[in-house]
Amino acid sequence: MKPFLNIINREFRMLFHNKAIFIFAVILPIIAILFFNTLLSKGVARDLPIAVLDLDNSSISRNLISQLDATPEILVKYKPIDQLEGERLVKEIKAYGLVIIPANFASDLKQGKQTKVINQYNSNVLLPSGLENKAFRKVVATFSAGVNIQKQMANGTSISQAKANFQPITSDNHVLSNPYTNYSYYLNSGFLTYFLQIFVILTTIYCFGVDLKYNKGEKLYNIGKENLPVIIFAKTLPYTLWFLFIGILMYYSMFVLQDFPLTGNKIILLLGLFLLITSTQAFSLLFIAVSRSFREALTFGSGFAAVSLSFSGITFPIFGMPKFIQYLSQIFPFTHYFELFVDQTQRGIPIFFSFKPILILIFINVFVFLISYKKLNKLLKRGSFLERT
């Protein structure tokens, strides 16, 4: 018991007195929470600037412009003198779209002729251009419906019949997950825990790697009475508890301060967070065990943490990936944690269906620890990495 307490006491001192560990475990996680909660505090992009070139300059064209400006997603900020100036604004990303209202727009509508309103946007900026195009299509569709219904009413058709003639089939949409299309609900939930995972993996590698880099592994092995499970548990426990506390702060910032949806079970969410931390620590131990140097272990760890976001399904759905990549994605703890998180926060999935990611995370913890056990034991006995860099 005494060796166990000695190691824990030593690690708690390192947490707040070692400069690198303090930055990884304390400063950067708090900065990340503040940064991402501030960055996406509005949740939905609003007032995206666009340019409108009105070649008709009629009351009807001005009405269309006012309807574009009234949509919450876009803001008519620029009125260029010609198409070239408008396209330049889009290319320089000063405007996210250029809407061109043609000459004779009003007269063509009055004569029953079909006319076009052109929308040019830069798809290199995928999210804002997508929102701009969506808002543009919605306004033009509404405006066209109004023109069509007015024509029918002028011919004596009732307003209800005119609406039915224009749109005989209507849609009744029910958004089952994230109905507010709030990007903070989706992106922050991934980014915050993703960066937490990075800090966990770097801190764990550093706390073990420093001892091995400076040939103190054998001393640590002796303090722990050559009992590797006790050494690992005592050395990682302070950081596990600390990052669990950081994770609870992260949850508080999401579910209380920003009012994220929480339709599932809080205990399951905390369990998922705990298993994400411990499985990440297990991989950190594996990278230490197979590395020839401290630098190599940090490289393995940071690389593993970096690519886990791509394999989680946040940026691209897993089912759309090649089969081999789909199987490979199951190696990463973050993939299973994120599935559990979304199920229990936004989708309202019953707890039963979250047992699968929980069991997989438990399996990852055990399996990764077992495959690194022998090599880690030999490494601590030797006392240092093969290369002291």
pLDDT tens digits for range 64-84: 999 999 988 889 999 999 999
Taking CA atoms, 243 is separated from 13, 29, 256, in Å, by: 16, 9, 19
Question: How would residue 331 be classed by pLDDT, with cut points 50, 70 and 90?
Answer: very high
Residues 6+ apart with CB under 8 A from 91: 122
The backbone torsions φ and ψ at residue 260, rounded to the nearest 5 degrees and listed phi first, read -60, 150
pLDDT tens digits for range 230-261: 888 888 899 999 999 999 999 998 888 887 88
Q: Can you give the length of the chain in residues?
A: 389
d(CA 375, CA 212) in angstroms, rounded, equals 13
* 3-state SS assignment for residue 118: strand
Residues 6+ apart with CB under 8 A from 328: 311
What per-residue confidence (pLDDT) applies to 232?
Answer: 85
- Which residues face 119 on adjacent strands? 99
Determine the average pLDDT of the residues in 115-140. Answer: 86
Beta sheet of 118-121, edge-to-edge order: 74-78, 48-54, 97-101, 118-121
Tokens for 217? Answer: 């592994």
Question: How would residue 86 be classed by pLDDT, with cut points 50, 70 and 90?
Answer: very high
- The distance from CA 29 to its chain's CA centroid, rounded to whole angstroms, is 16
Domains, the chain, with CATH or none = 2-41+181-382 (no CATH), 48-166 (3.40.1710.10)
d(CA 301, CA 140) in angstroms, rounded, equals 51
Q: What percent of the chain has pLDDT over 90?
A: 33
Q: What is the mean pLDDT of the chain?
A: 85
Count other Cβ atoms within 10 Å, centred on residue 53: 20
Tokens for 58? Answer: 């009629």
What per-residue confidence (pLDDT) applies to 50?
Answer: 92
Question: How would residue 99 be classed by pLDDT, with cut points 50, 70 and 90?
Answer: very high
Where is average pLDDT lowest: 7-16, 46-55, 278-287, 337-346?
7-16
Residues 6+ apart with CB under 8 A from 63: 143
* For residue 40, pLDDT beyond 80: no
pLDDT tens digits for range 141-195: 888 888 777 777 777 778 778 777 777 777 777 666 665 666 677 777 788 898 9
Is the separation of the CB atoms in 277 and 363 below 8 Å?
Answer: no
Tokens for 253? Answer: 């910032």
Q: Which residue has the higher pLDDT, 162 or 320?
A: 320
* 3-state SS assignment for residue 81: coil
Q: Is the pTM of this model over 0.85?
A: no
Count other Cβ atoms within 10 Å, centred on residue 31: 12
What per-residue confidence (pLDDT) applies to 44?
Answer: 67
Taking CA atoms, 385 is separated from 56, 113, 231, 281, 329, in Å, by: 75, 79, 18, 19, 30
